[in-house]
Structure 1
Amino acid sequence: MNGGGDAQNGSAKQLTAESLPVFNEGVYLILSRWSALQLAIEEEWAGRRSRQLADQLASDIFSWFTQPKAEPLYIDDLENVLDEGMLSLNCEIDDGSVEEVAEKLMIMHEECLEGDYSSVEKLRRAGPAAGTQQHIRQAGNDDNDDSSDDGSDDEGDMMPGSRSNIAVDSPVPQPRASSENMPNESQMEDDGWTVVSSNRNKDESNEMQKVFHMKGGLGEESYALNSKSQSAYLSRAMQVLDQAVLDLCTAGFPANSFNIADLGCSSGPNSLVAAAQITGIIHQKSSQLGRTPPEFSVFLNDLPGNDFNTVFNSLPSFQEKLKTEHGQDFGPCYVSGVPGSFYGRLFPSNSLHFVHSGQCLHWLSQVPPELRDKQDPLINKGKVFISRTSSPAVIDAYKSQFQKDFCAFLQARSEEVVAGGRMVLQFRGRRLEDPAPDESCLLWDYLGLAFQELVSEGLIPEGKLDTYNTPYYEAFTEDVRAEIEREGSFAVDCLETIVIPWDGCNGGVKQYDRATTARNMGKAIRAVNEAMIRSHFGGGDVEFVDRLFQKFGRIMVDDSKEVEHVSIVVSVIKKQSTV
């Protein structure tokens, strides 16, 4: 059996008599929403026994979780169970849904162990599963052996609340949401199928999409309640945003309709701030110029694991606020969710007038490949990010990955934004050419030290820490300008830096209680990083993450350094086509 991947301690705790039937029901509910499995049943790919084999798969999953084991429960082993079950139905899957189903089952099992049945209850209340959209190949159909996913499906169809487009007010034409358009795209064959590898070693960028997301919900450790520094950056960049929108209006935009995309919207109170500001300015400016205000389409994008439900639940109050502030003639404003990576195409060509992205582009599509090379990996000893002790090769690997990703982002948007359209991008960066200043690296150093203490206590192996690297990079301002000019599709209108104080998690207001700052900073970093940490070090032990960030807080309190936090805000204009 494969011992890698996320793990739950299978011997320490068992489901209670009360939890067993609830968990069993949850297994069937999750499988009932797995498009690939339901298609295999409906088409009887295994003949008349298809339904029986599907029921056997559900039984095998339940037994795998509930039979006593000396070893922990590893998600790779569960994926093998799912793969074998689907092969028994003559179904081969390379669309990533096996991993997604396994992750949801592991999470639900962990919740049931704690007597938390919220996931099962949500599935009970959910409506019928969305129709299948992916390409799934029936085993034995060898017309094209390498056929698999065409990249146009959205794995979010499997579960409620994660469809690619959810409209508010009334239907509007929706863009195609793709969760596989990353810089290294698969090759498209003439028959429309995409050639992808049939083994389990998926492209790291696709794996990153599955495990990277902010902590959802509205709990104490959620991103929604721990994103004050992001709010402070957004507030201080508002002048640049306002000017870009006003300039766009002066240039003749908008017409009858206006399309806005917010890329990396996340969840919580910041998700709709930019959309409200942009639509409000355009409505007011149109009225001042004697024009009929346009209809708005707002597309909220983030990775499929984002807590879109929390965002969508806030839409009624968002719409009401717009009407209250701007009058009943405002809009209409249609809001849609578009899951997928912004490092690839998300929208039809020439469909967007304005793009905003706040505090996102410092996150890379993947950990630099040089740090993941199984044969000869670069080792960033005891660190989780660039530091003063990192080798030049490690620093160069991070910079190279940023350059590739940022170029891919610009190229994708160059296809989607109309000529003369605007983008305002805000992300963490550096004022200094030095690749490892304290203002970029200090907090990551604290986190690395906290991990090292767990290693010394024997709670995690040293090799596990040495292979954990954060997919994050703070670019130098002039490097950002150079990349935009090198790609060539956009002209830089404005490029500035924004600075908030050390107590950034207090909303950008300077305070002097270091213990409070450390506690708030720990919550903020945990809200962003916990999903990746649990994926790498084992997802079942919440106490492990609790202990990690307790140590982070103590280390930060014991140190005396204070640094400012820096963000880059850049406003660009889509150039006229020269073709």
Structure 2
Amino acid sequence: MNGGGDAQNGPAKQLTAESLPVFNEGVYLILSRWSALQLAIEEEWAGRRSRQLADQLASDIFSWFTQAKAEPLYIDDLENVLDEGMLSLNCEIDDGSVEEVAEKLMIMHEECLEGDYSSVEKLRRAGPAAGTQQHIRQAGNDDNDDSSEDGSDDEGDMMPGSRSNMAVDSPVPQPRASSENRPNESQMEDDGWTTDSTRVSFWVPESILNSSTTEMVVEDESNEMQKVFHMKGGLGEESYALNSKSQSAYLSRAMQVLDQAVLDLCTAGFPANSFNIADLGCSSGPNSLVAAAQITGIIHQKSSQLGRTPPEFSVFLNDLPGNDFNTVFNSLPSFQEKLKTEHGQDFGPCYVSGVPGSFYGRLFPSNSLHFVHSGQCLHWLSQVPPELRDKQDPLINKGKVFISRTSSPAVIDAYKSQFQKDFCAFLQARSEEVVAGGRMVLQFRGRRLEDPAPDESCLLWDYLGLAFQELVSEGLIPEGKLDTYNTPYYEAYTEDVRDEIEREGSFAVDRLETIVIPWDGCNGGGTQYDRATTARNMGKAIRAVNEAMIRSHFGGGDVEFVDRLFQKFGRIMVDDSKEVEHVSIVVSVIKKQSTV
């Protein structure tokens, strides 16, 4: 690593809880305007992993700026991070844009340290750079570096452009810098690798501008779900935004538990000057910001009643990378305006940012969150239970898409075991991120009964399995495809949830309750519909959640196939006379004081 170059003077200040999400946003806004990077992603120069590698570059940049040790930051080190990231995407750049991007990142970081967000504001207003290209080429094998197939030299393969094509508004200030050489503090390990112990990991959101089309490719089965699972985006007739009335009903019924947890937190002395909230599994549509609005509103009112200055809020909205973050962020202006209308113009500030990634792993720095909410998410598993993909017995759940009355004990045990592993992983990750005394309110589908396959948990999945079987009998899908399709979903028994929380040990259960909504909750409240209309609405709701996984497994190109599947689902539901209630678990927990 080059040891010279300019440095930001230090040891210096660290980014505050307020400035972290703003700087975080600025990083991906700058990267979203770097034409070389965007071209490498769009053209998949590193194959299907291109998007994942670009996300990793953003993560590396953020980690580099938020080093555990307060020491000078050298711009040539940052340029090396950028160069290495682009090379991982098979992209070589010699037009000076690496240096330009590094300079803009350094300036923006310097400003954020001082609470100045002018560079980020400029980038927000500017939007994406259009039609810009840089002097770049796709890195090839050594044998092909000297010439192209037609005998021309490399220069002919490079795209025209110049350093000015970066198209990012240049802030006026310059970073404080030193011309001194960077001390060489890296250590050489026995195997010859150089290590740096100062970096901390933080999941950085990908560009909001591209989030709705993101495909995250992963290399192990435990994270395969991240590649294909997301609610159906947009605002169309079959979108999740227009077909999440039952989720809204659950959220409304759980509001009393949420309110009490927030009030208890205020009584316990929280918050101070800033308050950090995470909503895990935010999805998109009208429900995405409901909890955030409720939590911030209560804290603002309670602080005023207690004679305290209301805090500044940071709200982190998390979901898997394929989530339609565009729709969420397009609703932010009206969200902010509503808060000020309801609570006065002195409300806030409230900073909102997106955090793509799986909540079954770490998402935030240690001891950084005061309140975590998750609504209607934790029944989704990180993966299909491995036992159901066993090559020795691939048909263990033949003809079904979930647990049913006729499922073998092995299938039921596999699902329960996967839930236990995932829920424990979730709690362990949050135990690192939530401050002592902090709160979590978690709401997810569950069971009132110890019976692992009650109709209230399995009936709709039985309907979907029957619809698939009809498509098999009509020759529209291979039987083997159905036999290997299983839904990564599980409704836990209430006492099993309590047991897992107590077993993990980091949180104390404050309240654990069940919420019940009627079988036609997908229609919304107040209006009675006939069974056919309810079946159609239920089909849309299930389709909005499952379509991405279904199309990935059975083939993504045929929309008519999915249409026919849910037409059959609706008819099967109409023909059946059963009406079952839907159950959700809501649990409020408190982070225990550390005993270390």
TM norm structure 2? 0.68
DSSP 3-state at the match of 2:165: coil
After superposition, the Cα gap between the structure-2 partners of 1:248 and 1:48, relative to the gap in structure 1 and judged at 3 Å, is closer
CA contact (8 A) 1:129 1:159 kept: no
DSSP 3-state at the match of 1:165: helix
1:167-207 deviation per Cα after TM superposition (whole angstroms, max 9, x unaligned): 99999999999999999999999999999999998212332
After superposition, the Cα gap between the structure-2 partners of 1:468 and 1:489, relative to the gap in structure 1 and judged at 3 Å, is same
Gaps of 5+ in 2: 196-212
After superposition, the Cα gap between the structure-2 partners of 1:366 and 1:47, relative to the gap in structure 1 and judged at 3 Å, is closer
Moved more, 537-546 or 118-127: 118-127
Moved more, 342-351 or 177-186: 177-186
CA contact (8 A) 1:439 1:563 kept: yes
Tell me, in whole angstroms, the C-alpha distance in 1 between the residues paired with 2:365 and 2:15.
48
After superposition, the Cα gap between the structure-2 partners of 1:135 and 1:280, relative to the gap in structure 1 and judged at 3 Å, is farther
**Higher Rg:** 2
CA contact (8 A) 1:164 1:177 kept: no
After superposition, the Cα gap between the structure-2 partners of 1:17 and 1:491, relative to the gap in structure 1 and judged at 3 Å, is closer
Moved more, 302-311 or 203-212: 203-212
1:63-93 deviation per Cα after TM superposition (whole angstroms, max 9, x unaligned): 9999999999999999999999999996899
After superposition, the Cα gap between the structure-2 partners of 1:144 and 1:70, relative to the gap in structure 1 and judged at 3 Å, is same
CA contact (8 A) 2:291 2:373 kept: yes
After superposition, the Cα gap between the structure-2 partners of 1:398 and 1:339, relative to the gap in structure 1 and judged at 3 Å, is same
Moved more, 9-18 or 182-191: 9-18
After superposition, the Cα gap between the structure-2 partners of 1:546 and 1:245, relative to the gap in structure 1 and judged at 3 Å, is same
Tell me, in whole angstroms, the C-alpha distance in 1 between the residues paired with 2:280 and 2:500.
19
DSSP 3-state at the match of 2:308: coil
CA contact (8 A) 2:316 2:352 kept: yes
DSSP 3-state at the match of 1:381: coil
After superposition, the Cα gap between the structure-2 partners of 1:178 and 1:48, relative to the gap in structure 1 and judged at 3 Å, is farther
After superposition, the Cα gap between the structure-2 partners of 1:372 and 1:401, relative to the gap in structure 1 and judged at 3 Å, is same
1:394-413 deviation per Cα after TM superposition (whole angstroms, max 9, x unaligned): 11000000000000000000
After superposition, the Cα gap between the structure-2 partners of 1:94 and 1:144, relative to the gap in structure 1 and judged at 3 Å, is farther
DSSP 3-state at the match of 2:404: coil
CA contact (8 A) 1:422 1:574 kept: yes
CA contact (8 A) 2:8 2:176 kept: no
Moved more, 542-551 or 145-154: 145-154
DSSP 3-state at the match of 1:329: coil
1:211-262 deviation per Cα after TM superposition (whole angstroms, max 9, x unaligned): 1000000000000000000000000000000000000000000000000000
Moved more, 455-464 or 105-114: 105-114
Tell me, in whole angstroms, the C-alpha distance in 2 between the residues paired with 1:422 and 1:12.
32
Q: How far does residue 504 in structure 1 lie from its aligned partner after superposition?
A: 1.1
1:13-59 deviation per Cα after TM superposition (whole angstroms, max 9, x unaligned): 99999999999999999999999977989999999999999999999
Moved more, 140-149 or 420-429: 140-149
Tell me, in whole angstroms, the C-alpha distance in 1 between the residues paired with 2:28 and 2:151.
27
After superposition, the Cα gap between the structure-2 partners of 1:162 and 1:231, relative to the gap in structure 1 and judged at 3 Å, is farther
1:154-176 deviation per Cα after TM superposition (whole angstroms, max 9, x unaligned): 99999999999999999999999
CA contact (8 A) 2:285 2:327 kept: yes
After superposition, the Cα gap between the structure-2 partners of 1:270 and 1:200, relative to the gap in structure 1 and judged at 3 Å, is closer
Q: How far does residue 373 in structure 1 lie from its aligned partner after superposition?
A: 2.2
Q: How far does residue 210 in structure 1 lie from its aligned partner after superposition?
A: 1.5
2:309 equivalent to 1:289 = no
Q: How far does residue 372 in structure 1 lie from its aligned partner after superposition?
A: 1.4
Tell me, in whole angstroms, the C-alpha distance in 2 between the residues paired with 1:463 and 1:4.
60
Tell me, in whole angstroms, the C-alpha distance in 2 between the residues paired with 1:83 and 1:412.
31
Moved more, 214-223 or 201-210: 201-210
Moved more, 546-555 or 155-164: 155-164
2:531 equivalent to 1:479 = no
Tell me, in whole angstroms, the C-alpha distance in 2 between the residues paired with 1:439 and 1:276.
31
Q: How far does residue 125 in structure 1 lie from its aligned partner after superposition?
A: 13
After superposition, the Cα gap between the structure-2 partners of 1:182 and 1:209, relative to the gap in structure 1 and judged at 3 Å, is farther
CA contact (8 A) 2:106 2:175 kept: no
CA contact (8 A) 2:502 2:508 kept: yes
2:111 equivalent to 1:94 = no
Tell me, in whole angstroms, the C-alpha distance in 1 between the residues paired with 2:479 and 2:524.
36
Tell me, in whole angstroms, the C-alpha distance in 2 between the residues paired with 1:513 and 1:72.
68
Aligned match of 1:190: 190
CA contact (8 A) 1:7 1:539 kept: no
After superposition, the Cα gap between the structure-2 partners of 1:365 and 1:508, relative to the gap in structure 1 and judged at 3 Å, is farther
Moved more, 141-150 or 316-325: 141-150
CA contact (8 A) 1:110 1:540 kept: no
Tell me, in whole angstroms, the C-alpha distance in 2 between the residues paired with 1:12 and 1:146.
46
Tell me, in whole angstroms, the C-alpha distance in 2 between the residues paired with 1:434 and 1:151.
72
After superposition, the Cα gap between the structure-2 partners of 1:509 and 1:140, relative to the gap in structure 1 and judged at 3 Å, is same
Q: How far does residue 511 in structure 1 lie from its aligned partner after superposition?
A: 3.1
Moved more, 277-286 or 142-151: 142-151
After superposition, the Cα gap between the structure-2 partners of 1:332 and 1:186, relative to the gap in structure 1 and judged at 3 Å, is same
1:116-148 deviation per Cα after TM superposition (whole angstroms, max 9, x unaligned): 999999999995579999999999999999999
DSSP 3-state at the match of 2:164: coil
After superposition, the Cα gap between the structure-2 partners of 1:320 and 1:351, relative to the gap in structure 1 and judged at 3 Å, is same
After superposition, the Cα gap between the structure-2 partners of 1:229 and 1:109, relative to the gap in structure 1 and judged at 3 Å, is farther
1:409-454 deviation per Cα after TM superposition (whole angstroms, max 9, x unaligned): 0000000000000000000000000000000000000000000000
CA contact (8 A) 2:218 2:226 kept: no
CA contact (8 A) 2:456 2:583 kept: yes
After superposition, the Cα gap between the structure-2 partners of 1:261 and 1:373, relative to the gap in structure 1 and judged at 3 Å, is same
CA contact (8 A) 1:232 1:507 kept: yes
Tell me, in whole angstroms, the C-alpha distance in 2 between the residues paired with 1:339 and 1:178.
36
1:549-576 deviation per Cα after TM superposition (whole angstroms, max 9, x unaligned): 0000000000000000000000000000
Count residues in correspondence.
579
Q: CA RMSD in A?
A: 16.6
After superposition, the Cα gap between the structure-2 partners of 1:10 and 1:444, relative to the gap in structure 1 and judged at 3 Å, is farther
CA contact (8 A) 1:154 1:163 kept: no
CA contact (8 A) 1:503 1:510 kept: no
CA contact (8 A) 1:259 1:354 kept: yes
State the identity %. 97
CA contact (8 A) 1:7 1:538 kept: no
After superposition, the Cα gap between the structure-2 partners of 1:386 and 1:291, relative to the gap in structure 1 and judged at 3 Å, is same
Q: How far does residue 9 in structure 1 lie from its aligned partner after superposition?
A: 59
Q: How far does residue 383 in structure 1 lie from its aligned partner after superposition?
A: 0.7
DSSP 3-state at the match of 2:416: helix
1:260-289 deviation per Cα after TM superposition (whole angstroms, max 9, x unaligned): 000000000000000000000000000000
CA contact (8 A) 2:147 2:153 kept: no
Q: How far does residue 377 in structure 1 lie from its aligned partner after superposition?
A: 2.8
CA contact (8 A) 1:365 1:471 kept: yes
Aligned match of 1:437: 454
After superposition, the Cα gap between the structure-2 partners of 1:440 and 1:287, relative to the gap in structure 1 and judged at 3 Å, is same
CA contact (8 A) 2:271 2:311 kept: yes
DSSP 3-state at the match of 1:394: helix
Moved more, 561-570 or 75-84: 75-84
After superposition, the Cα gap between the structure-2 partners of 1:567 and 1:546, relative to the gap in structure 1 and judged at 3 Å, is same
Tell me, in whole angstroms, the C-alpha distance in 2 between the residues paired with 1:67 and 1:255.
25
TM norm structure 1? 0.70
Q: How far does residue 506 in structure 1 lie from its aligned partner after superposition?
A: 1.3
